[in-house]
Amino acid sequence: MSDDFLFAEETNDVEEFDGRNTWKILIVDDEPEIHTVTRLALSDFTFQERHLEFVSAYSGEEAKQAFRDHSDIAIVLLDVVMESDHAGLEVAKYIREDLKNNYTRIILRTGQPGQAPERDVIINYDINDYKSKTELTAQKLFTVIISTLRSYRDIVVIDESRQGLEKIIKSSANLFSLHSLEQFIEGIVQQLSSLLGGTEDAVYMTSAVAGPSPIDNIESGEYLVFSGSGEYSRYEGKKLAEVLSGPRLESCRKALSSKNIVYGDDHVVAFCKSKFERGALLYMSGLPRRLSDLDRSMIDIFAQNVQIAFDNVLLTKDIEDTQKEVIERLGQAIDDATFQQGNHIKRVILISEILGKSFGLSEDEVKTLRIAVPLHDIGKIAIPQSIINKPSKLSDDEAAMVKNHTKIGYNILKNSKRPVIKAAALIARDHHEHWDGQGYPRGLKGEEISVFSRITAIADVYDSLRSQRVYKESWSDAEAQRYMQQQRGKQFDPFLIDIFMQKIDDIEQIVVELADKSES
Output the 3-class SS for 72-113: CEEEEEEECCCCCCCHHHHHHHHHHHHCCCCCCEEEEEECCH
**For residue 213, is pLDDT > 70?**
no
Q: What are the residue numbers of the active site?
A: 380
- CA distances for 105 relative to 74, 209, 291, 442, angstroms: 6, 43, 26, 71
499 and 391 share a domain? Answer: yes
In a domain, 518, yes or no: no
Which ranges of 226-266 would DSSP assign to H, the alpha helix? 240-243, 246-258
218 and 354 share a domain? Answer: no
Residues 170-197, mean pLDDT to the nearest whole number = 60
**What local confidence, expressed as pLDDT, does residue 264 receive?**
86
Q: Given pLDDT bands bounded at 50, 70 and 90, which one contains residue 3? A: very low
pLDDT, tens digit (0-9, with 9 covering 90-100), for 11-25 = 334 333 344 578 999
112 and 182 share a domain? Answer: no
178 and 136 share a domain? Answer: no
For the chain, the average pLDDT equals: 81
Number of domains in the chain: 3
Does 20 or 334 have the greater pLDDT score? 334
**What local confidence, expressed as pLDDT, does residue 210 receive?**
39
230 and 288 share a domain? Answer: yes
Dihedral over Cα of 210, 211, 214, 219: its sign? negative
Does 130 or 209 have the greater pLDDT score? 130
Distance CA 191, CA 172 (A): 16
In a domain, 164, yes or no: no
In a domain, 324, yes or no: no
Segment of 305-309, 355-359, 468-472 carrying the highest mean pLDDT? 355-359
**For residue 9, is pLDDT > 60?**
no
pTM for this prediction: 0.51
Residues 292-304, mean pLDDT to the nearest whole number = 72
Output the 3-class SS for 425-449: HHHHHHCCCCCCCCCCCCCCCHHHC
Residues 88-106, mean pLDDT to the nearest whole number = 92
pLDDT, tens digit (0-9, with 9 covering 90-100), for 24-83 = 999 999 999 999 999 999 989 999 888 999 999 999 999 999 999 998 999 999 998 898
**What local confidence, expressed as pLDDT, does residue 506 receive?**
96
Task: Please tell me the least confidently modeled range out of 45-49, 53-57, 185-189, 360-364.
Answer: 185-189
CATH number of 433's domain? 1.10.3210.10
CATH number of 113's domain? 3.40.50.2300
In a domain, 328, yes or no: no
**Cβ 228 vs Cβ 218: under 8 Å:** no
Name the DSSP letter for residue 222.
-
Distance CA 486, CA 488 (A): 6
Distance CA 289, CA 286 (A): 9
Does 138 or 406 have the greater pLDDT score? 406
In a domain, 329, yes or no: no
Residue where a domain terminates, one of 126, 155, 184:
155
177 and 151 share a domain? Answer: no
306 and 450 share a domain? Answer: no
In a domain, 109, yes or no: yes
Distance CA 263, CA 279 (A): 18
349 and 253 share a domain? Answer: no
**For residue 475, is pLDDT > 90?**
yes
**What local confidence, expressed as pLDDT, does residue 216 receive?**
39
- Give the domain range for residue 109: 3-155
pLDDT, tens digit (0-9, with 9 covering 90-100), for 259-286 = 888 988 888 888 877 665 567 788 888 7
CATH number of 254's domain? 3.30.450.40
Does 171 or 48 have the greater pLDDT score? 48
Q: Given pLDDT bands bounded at 50, 70 and 90, which one contains residue 194? A: low
In a domain, 462, yes or no: yes
Residues 336-359, mean pLDDT to the nearest whole number = 83
264 and 376 share a domain? Answer: no
149 and 27 share a domain? Answer: yes
**What local confidence, expressed as pLDDT, does residue 118 receive?**
60
Residue 225: in which H helix or E strand, if any?
strand 224-229
496 and 431 share a domain? Answer: yes
Does 311 or 442 have the greater pLDDT score? 442
**For residue 1, is pLDDT > 60?**
no
In a domain, 86, yes or no: yes
79 and 183 share a domain? Answer: no
**Cβ 64 vs Cβ 26: under 8 Å:** no
**What local confidence, expressed as pLDDT, does residue 15 receive?**
37
**Cβ 237 vs Cβ 209: under 8 Å:** yes
